[in-house]
Amino acid sequence: MRRRRTIPTKPMAVLAAIALPLSSAAAVYAAVPREPRAEALNRLYTPPAGTAPYRQLTRLVRHGDRGAAAGVLAMLRTPHAVWYGDETPEEVEQLIRATTRRAARQGRVPVLALYNAPGRDCGNYSAGGAKGTAEYRAWIDAVARGIGNRRALIVLEPDSLALLPSDCDRAGGAAGGHHEDARDEFPGEREGAAEAGEELDGGVDGGVEGDVDGDVLDSELFAGGAGVLGGALAGAQAQAQAEAEARLAAQAAPPVGADLPADVRAGGPEDARTDVGTGTGTGTGTGTDNTVTDTPGGRPAGHPAEQPAGQHGDPHTGRPTPDGTVKPTHPARPTQPTQPTQPTVRPAPTPAELRARTAARYAEIHYAVDTLEPLPGVKVYLDAGHAGWHSVTGIVGRLLNAGVDHATGFAINVSHYQTDEDNAWYGRLISSCLAYVADGGDIRDCPDQRWPRLRAERWLEIHVLDEPQEMKHFVTDTSRNGRGPWTPRAGSHADPQPWCNPPGRGLGIRPTTRTGDPLHDAALWVKTPGESDGQCLRGTAGPRDPERGTVDPEAGQWFPEQALELVRFARPSL
């Protein structure tokens, strides 16, 4: 019987072209083994790369730059998350079943980033998501069926809690596209007040007239003060949802995620305004400015739903195919009529409507946790933004409202650039505050990341007595934090967008579940390195990115120049 001739695919041909002369680049890039540092990765899954990265590899090889090609190849072969969002329930069930089965056959654990919450990214770069709560629940049910009894780590809805619907008026939801920082306030008197024994607001509604309190931290909405959502919140959510739907139907208000008129942007949850300042209390020792300059969207750049609204631009705007690759699609953008039409006056969402949308967001995340966490091989981590975005007390309130009590824990720094030290400390503070509140403590007593390190550690020793196995754990995204956050030159841009394709960033530590910290379950590459955060304009009319001098690819598309930067400035090096 004649043997069938095997024709190498383009990716295999590229690999062969790189492998032959790789020794000439050994001084710059380490050789790429078949299983890169498998013992340190604890068997995390690597999805197949798309065609765009291999086209870049082909060009590099043809131009003789095999060292750079080897670096990009090593990046592609490092375990990273698979993103899902915008698929139909039938599609996502099929895709996730294929991914989890493939990973199981390899003896590996996949990281699944689920990104389909209604009103995603305040309708900005990564706009999209399910059309409503019922559709989202059906989608989550399909995800659960696709996973079945197989193992998976789930990063649930990046930015969904750090960027609530009630934050959108401050997060760039307005038509102008310029967004204010959606960050927690850290008043200069905060530490002094704490020393004097005064209560800290911690993102709780301060009673400012007109503000939209996205945290809903009133004590009557909690059961027994333990931080678990009670029947009062469920009833409030249902009533607010019904009232909002009736009002929207009667007034033809814009759908979730639509741009909010300027007159609605007068308020916002206190917790949505974070200014960590330049205090040294975090003890990072990095020498970088810890002032929070990120705008509302501290999440993935280039993934299905994020960008100008926050500090990420990593929406996976493509849909994974059954083989695990991603077919690029264009993020949903508002369409403009080709002919002048009579302007339609849309009433601005009222505070009650914004509250209803936020309550719905909490209910949606809670449903996803209750559906996915009980699966035998699954661990679910909720969105917790990053240390330069929200205060500890602010994000803890949101996590409690979203059902973190029923989840494994939370995810930090997704698609962002905060340092490993800052992430680990922020995670410990959040986990400790959750434990303190669960034991009946007042959330407002918890230390935040701006407290002096020694003072915060003394507080933890006295007030948090739980063992690590009894506390909520966390994972961090190290895909692009090797060089830490980018600090733009003062006055260099009207809106620096430091989260959006910042220059000179590098890959961080390789994914591993062996962190040496009992609360830190894993360092992961959640954001796919090399994918654009979006067409960053930094306050200009565009179309060029004024910092780079180029037109950046749309969110989620491959960005060759940035991919090379991440490899070149990786710390540790590849």
Q: Within 10 A of 523 (CB to CB), how many other CB atoms are there? A: 25
**pLDDT of 321 strictly over 70:** no
Which tens digits make up the pLDDT trace of 26-46?
333 333 333 344 444 569 999
The pLDDT confidence band at residue 168, using thresholds 50, 70 and 90, is confident
Tokens of 229: 């959502």
Comparing 54-68, 134-148, 251-265, which segment has the lowest mean pLDDT? 251-265
Task: State the Cα–Cα distance between residues 495 and 169, nearest whole angstrom.
Answer: 17
Which residue is listed with tokens 């309708």?
123
Beta bridge partners, 545, equal: 550
Whether residue 293 contacts residue 517, with contact meaning beta carbons closer than 8 Å, is answered with no
Where helices occur in 287-391 by DSSP H, the ranges are: 351-372
Task: State the Cα–Cα distance between residues 274 and 138, nearest whole angstrom.
Answer: 34
The pLDDT confidence band at residue 303, using thresholds 50, 70 and 90, is very low
Whether residue 569 contacts residue 482, with contact meaning beta carbons closer than 8 Å, is answered with yes
The pLDDT confidence band at residue 219, using thresholds 50, 70 and 90, is very low
Q: Within 10 A of 42 (CB to CB), how many other CB atoms are there? A: 14
Which tens digits make up the pLDDT trace of 415-449?
999 999 999 999 999 999 999 999 999 999 999 99
Q: Which pLDDT does position 277 carry in this prediction?
A: 34
Measured in residues, the chain has a length of: 574
Higher-scoring residue by pLDDT: 220, 550: 550
Q: Which pLDDT does position 127 carry in this prediction?
A: 84
Q: Count Cα atoms within 13 angstroms, Cβ side, for 572.
A: 5
Q: What angle do CA 325, 326, 327 make, to 5 degrees?
A: 125
Q: Which pLDDT does position 479 carry in this prediction?
A: 98
Which residue is listed with tokens 């790189």?
18
The pLDDT confidence band at residue 186, using thresholds 50, 70 and 90, is very low
Higher-scoring residue by pLDDT: 215, 568: 568
Q: What is the mean pLDDT of the chain?
A: 74
For the four alpha carbons of 31, 37, 43 and 45, in that order, the dihedral sign comes to negative
Phi/psi class of residue 422: alpha, beta or left (left: φ > 0; alpha: ψ in -120 to 50)? alpha
Q: Count Cα atoms within 13 angstroms, Cβ side, for 239.
A: 7
**pLDDT of 207 strictly over 60:** no
Q: Which pLDDT does position 529 carry in this prediction?
A: 97
Peptide bond into 572 cis (omega under 30): yes
Higher-scoring residue by pLDDT: 187, 494: 494
- Within 209-355, strands assigned E span 222-223, 228-229, 318-320, 326-328
Q: Which pLDDT does position 301 carry in this prediction?
A: 36
Q: Which pLDDT does position 179 carry in this prediction?
A: 32
